[in-house]
Amino acid sequence: MNLGTADILVLVLYFLSQIAIGLYAGRKNRSTEHYFLAGKSFSGLVIGISFIGSVISSSTFLATPADAFKTAWLRFVPNFAFPVVVLLAAWLFIPFFRRGTVTSAYHYLALRFGGSISAYASVVFIVTQLLRTSMIAYLLSLLVGEVTGWGFAHSLLLIVGVTALYTVKGGIKAVIWTDVAQTFVLLAGGLACVVHAMMHTPDGIAGIFSDAIIHHKFSFYDLDGTGALAPTKWFGGFSEKTVFMLFLVGCMQYLNLQFDQSTVQRWCTTKTAGEARKSMYILGFGCLPVWGLFQFTGICLFVFFLHHPDPAASGILSGVRKAELILPHFIMNYLPSGLAGLVIAGAFAAGMSTLSACINVSGMVVVDDIYKKYINRRAGDSRRLFLGKVFSLGMALSMIAGALLIYNCSMLTLTDFMLTAGVVITIGIPSVFIAGMFIRRIDTPAIWSGVLAALVFMFWIMLGNSGRIPEAWRIGMPSYYVSIFGNLLALAVAVLVSLVVKPRPRDLANLTVWDQSRNALE
């Protein structure tokens, strides 16, 4: 099926509307505070909805249905930790980053532990953003290439180019307002897929549930060595995946997200700390149903193709084709003209909302937490504003290179790869923030000792899993769990070192939860 006139019209209107919103919203950017923090002018409602748009990326729109289609709900388990972590952030973390003396998460680390830890965390953040945006750009380009026939590379240039246009020009205001619009577009696209699949499945929603239950699609099963779904233990040892351990992985993964500058930046764009908390309530209770919608979309597609056998769907289940192709295939071959355009626009919205946020916040981190601190302390605001746009553009170009690299890799599913890569790259970062906020006696030497211990532990596990060290020396553990034990190890080592290396006398006002002034909570 080729795109019809109605589909093309929907997509043209979508792109034009996003460019118009982005350019109009950012038309008055005259300083770095307005370009990166919007003058702290937003309400909690707007920020909360924009949070959902940026968190629900094309990884959710395309990779989540792909994983549910090929496997079951096991890799959804970490998401159940999200509301718990978000509520924790609303009451414990927001006060730290709403004070006038702190402009970013890494500024806080610089005040608490010094420049070295702040620089390390900044670099980890940028690498993480590059990985995330590269995967998102890959997924979107895969979709565009599939439905237009333009090819992956040309589609990649179109997607990143349009997103970079309004983001680099419009700043954080453009990011937030386009995110709000994109949130509703992506929800409409997901619902359209679910409704159409139900309408063309015998017995409708009842048939979806009955067939899915028979094939264990609502279970926490995973693929075994033969490619069949097999039960996953709820509890067990550290050498295998279990439901409980994946929940803990989610706790650590989303805890790290709360210390992510892309989150802190949005907290700082709200009018008050109370509005920032409101945004987190909206995010915490809004994301889980949306994630569930796209997980359910994959199940609907599985049951749909049970009753409408298709060689492409069979090839995905057998591993011959990439799992992430299932939704593009369904869109182009089974959705009517017009509706297909809406779903494609939803996929664009899901990806572009996250890409724009990552582009903008990466520019902020490079300018404020690296350039201004270590390269040119006397840089004026106009120069920093110019460099912020330059570095944002550089991030966009880097994600193109990263997407091309991912395109040439092979993996079980992208969701599986993202979960593994994310916990490995950010090893030790949550422990740095936790130690800084909750343990007074831990100082720079102690926290560095903990981080280095976590890094050694991570490399040891990875080398063992790849068979590059003798079997007798290996620690059998899935890569998923490295974040849990690595961060616990980092905290333990930091505490032990702090007992030996006496911390320097210093003022910790507003740098720990025990030294928080009243005005920090306002």
CATH code (residue 53): 1.20.1730.10
52, with CB counted inside 10 A (0-12, 13-18, 19+), is buried
**Residues 443, 300 within the same domain:** no
Per DSSP, 229 falls in state E
**Residues 439, 404 within the same domain:** no
**Residues 439, 399 within the same domain:** no
Domain boundary among 408, 438, 468: 408
**Residues 33, 163 within the same domain:** yes
pLDDT attached to residue 521: 44
**What is the mean pLDDT for each group of 10 consecutive residues in the chain (522 residues)?**
79 88 81 83 90 76 85 87 88 73 77 89 85 82 75 86 88 89 88 91 89 89 74 76 83 78 83 88 88 91 90 84 82 86 84 85 86 83 88 90 81 55 73 90 94 89 76 71 85 94 82 68 45
**Residues 319, 267 within the same domain:** yes
Q: How far, rounded to the nearest angstrom, does the alpha carbon of residue 211 sit from its chain's CA centroid?
A: 32
**Residues 216, 156 within the same domain:** yes
Q: Looking at the domain assignment, is residue 421 inside a domain?
A: no
Domain boundary among 408, 435, 468: 408
The domain in which residue 459 lies consists of: 427-522
**Residues 436, 371 within the same domain:** no
**Residues 383, 459 within the same domain:** no
Q: Which helix (H) or strand (E) holds 223?
A: strand 222-223
Q: Looking at the domain assignment, is residue 413 inside a domain?
A: no
pLDDT attached to residue 209: 92
Interval 166-191: pLDDT, tens = 898 888 888 899 888 888 888 888 89
pLDDT attached to residue 92: 79
**What's the total number of domains in the chain?**
2
**Residues 286, 433 within the same domain:** no
Interval 297-332: pLDDT, tens = 999 999 999 899 889 888 888 877 878 788 888 888
- Both structure tokens of 128: 């993480």
Which SS3 state, helix, strand or coil, does residue 42 take?
strand
**Residues 238, 131 within the same domain:** yes
Q: Looking at the domain assignment, is residue 328 inside a domain?
A: yes
Q: Looking at the domain assignment, is residue 51 inside a domain?
A: yes
pLDDT attached to residue 522: 46
Up-side HSE of residue 254: CA atoms within 13 Å toward CB?
24
Q: Looking at the domain assignment, is residue 415 inside a domain?
A: no
**Residues 377, 472 within the same domain:** no
Q: Looking at the domain assignment, is residue 227 inside a domain?
A: yes
* Phi-psi domain of 171 (left: phi exceeds 0; alpha: psi -120 through 50; beta: other): left
- Both structure tokens of 17: 């509307």
Instruction: State the amino acid at position 134 in one-letter form.
Output: S
Domain boundary among 408, 441, 460: 408
**Residues 165, 38 within the same domain:** yes
Q: Looking at the domain assignment, is residue 418 inside a domain?
A: no
Is 490 within 8 Å of 428 (Cβ atoms)? yes
Q: Looking at the domain assignment, is residue 360 inside a domain?
A: yes
Q: Model-level pTM? A: 0.78
Location of structure tokens 């926490």: 220
SS3 content of the chain, % helix, strand, coil (to 5): 75, 0, 20
